[in-house]
Amino acid sequence: METLHTKKNIRHLTLTELEQYFQTLGEAAFRARQVYEWIWQKHAGSFEAMTNLSKSLRQTLAEHFSFPALQIDATQYSADGTIKSRFRTHEGHLVEGVLIPTDERRTACVSSQIGCSLSCKFCATGYMEKKRNLDYDEIYDEVALLNEQSEKMFEKRLSNIVFMGMGEPLLNYRNVLKAIERISSPVGLGMSPRRITVSTAGVAKMIRQLGDDQVKFKLALSLHAANDKKRNEIMPINETNNIKALTEALNYFYQKTGAEITLEYILFKDFNDSLKDADELVKIYRQIPADLVNIIEYNPIEAAKFAKPDEATIRKFMDYLAKNRVNARLRVSRGKDIDAACGQLANKN
């Protein structure tokens, strides 16, 4: 008998391919539509869950195809309502996702890779080895499972999705775009792409590709330092994708898509929190058609030496941005007590 590794993943078949398969079985074409709906719309986790198919047909599917769905391995609940889930892949890799509820929103923060290859100095995931990219159906599973959690805990569906978990989404380009296509499809979760934000550490070539592909979702750039010298220190990717290249790529992206752009900037004590740093950030903001700058408070991790600035320094920084007409918002991190906040995801219990 074929093993999981040699059987084709049924979720990697198009509807047309499923219809062709059911034809070879002598089954009615509508069966393919039923299976497709079970996979994507109803988010079945196994063939057994497809209850309007006969038992023998479910067994036939299981003999011919694999169904390597993500499973929730562990769940942690923060005092502030944030829920962190650790997912297990079919071969035992672990990856994390977070559900962040507020009065108006329920946001899923999802991962795109198992580990990360970029080694950003302030991020716990950056200290992990990159194992592999997540497949588009696994990314879809993260969103669907967090949506189920949201419906169960808060009696409301997800309102927003951010690709700000583990990994660099633009280094898993094809799977991320395909997952978003499924998430926003009517035969899927039916979410508007305008409620989805993909966050990148800055891969200029792929930002331009997003423009060429005329994507509809929002883009966030993790800037975190407003000059190349400092950015090189904390984000090695800047050595091959400097601020000038990113500025040009973001302008190209906006010209092609008109989609919203956000700049993300974590404040680190005595590193990028001076008024000179704020002034450099203002200059970059004026070169990019960004709607918003998210100023993020730093969440400490064991591996890094950075600290959060004091409240007075943060206030001065924010005031300087406001005085220079920068649309900036201070983002308070959620889920710190369970290592679920920005930069803390590392598969720890």
How do residues 97-129 score in pLDDT, each as one tens digit?
Answer: 999 999 899 999 999 999 888 878 777 776 777
Containing structural domain, residue 54: 8-66
Under DSSP, is residue 38 helix (H, G, I), strand (E, B) or coil? helix
Under DSSP, is residue 84 helix (H, G, I), strand (E, B) or coil? strand
Q: What is the pLDDT of residue 346?
A: 55
Segment 50-78 shows an average pLDDT of 94
**49 and 147 housed in the same domain:** no
E strands of 190-260, at which residues? 196-200, 218-222
Res 337 pLDDT > 60: yes
**220 and 258 housed in the same domain:** yes
**130 and 30 housed in the same domain:** no
Which of 66, 95, 111 terminates a domain? The answer is 66
At 54, give phi and psi (nearest 5°): -65, 155
What distance in Å separates the CA atoms of residue 124 and residue 128, rounded to the nearest whole number?
7
**295 and 178 housed in the same domain:** yes
* Pair 262, 294: CB distance under 8 Å: yes
**169 and 283 housed in the same domain:** yes
pLDDT in tens, 254-313: 999 999 999 999 999 999 999 999 999 999 999 999 999 999 988 777 777 888 999 999
Q: What is the pLDDT of residue 22?
A: 93
Which of 66, 86, 116 terminates a domain? The answer is 66
CATH number of domain containing 251 = 3.20.20.70
Whether residue 344 lies inside any domain: the answer is no
Segment 186-202 shows an average pLDDT of 95
Res 16 pLDDT > 80: yes
Residue 88, class by beta-carbon neighbours within 10 Å (0-12 exposed, 13-18 middle, 19+ buried)? middle
Under DSSP, is residue 271 helix (H, G, I), strand (E, B) or coil? coil
Whether residue 153 lies inside any domain: the answer is yes
Whether residue 1 lies inside any domain: the answer is no
What distance in Å separates the CA atoms of residue 300 and residue 319, rounded to the nearest whole number?
24
Query: Which residues on adjacent β-strands are paired with residue 132?
Result: 114
Q: What is the pLDDT of residue 84?
A: 93
Whether residue 261 lies inside any domain: the answer is yes
**128 and 95 housed in the same domain:** yes
Q: How many domains does the chain have?
A: 2
Continuous segment of H or E residues that includes residue 234 = helix 228-234
Whether residue 3 lies inside any domain: the answer is no
**17 and 123 housed in the same domain:** no
Segment 51-59 shows an average pLDDT of 93
Segment 232-257 shows an average pLDDT of 96
**121 and 201 housed in the same domain:** yes
**267 and 295 housed in the same domain:** yes
φ/ψ region of 342 (left if φ > 0, alpha if ψ in -120 to 50, else beta) reads beta
pLDDT band at 2 (very low <50, low <70, confident <90, very high): very low
Residues catalogued as catalytic: 96, 342
CATH number of domain containing 42 = 1.10.150.530
- The two counts, helices (H) then strands (E), for the chain are 10, 14
Could you tell me the two tokens for 72?
Answer: 């929730």
pLDDT band at 343 (very low <50, low <70, confident <90, very high): low
Res 48 pLDDT > 50: yes
Q: What is the pLDDT of residue 286?
A: 97
Res 190 pLDDT > 80: yes
**196 and 85 housed in the same domain:** yes
Could you tell me the two tokens for 152?
Answer: 């169960």
Whether residue 186 lies inside any domain: the answer is yes
| Percent of the chain residues past pLDDT 90, beyond the cut | 81
pLDDT band at 5 (very low <50, low <70, confident <90, very high): low
**57 and 76 housed in the same domain:** no
Whether residue 314 lies inside any domain: the answer is yes
**What sign has the CA pseudo-torsion 16, 18, 22, 28?**
negative
Q: What is the pLDDT of residue 348?
A: 55
pLDDT band at 6 (very low <50, low <70, confident <90, very high): confident
Could you tell me the two tokens for 116?
Answer: 């990360």
Segment 201-230 shows an average pLDDT of 97
pLDDT band at 347 (very low <50, low <70, confident <90, very high): low
Q: What is the pLDDT of residue 339?
A: 65
**257 and 116 housed in the same domain:** yes
Which of 40, 66, 92 terminates a domain? The answer is 66
Whether residue 254 lies inside any domain: the answer is yes
What distance in Å separates the CA atoms of residue 268 and residue 198, rounded to the nearest whole number?
23
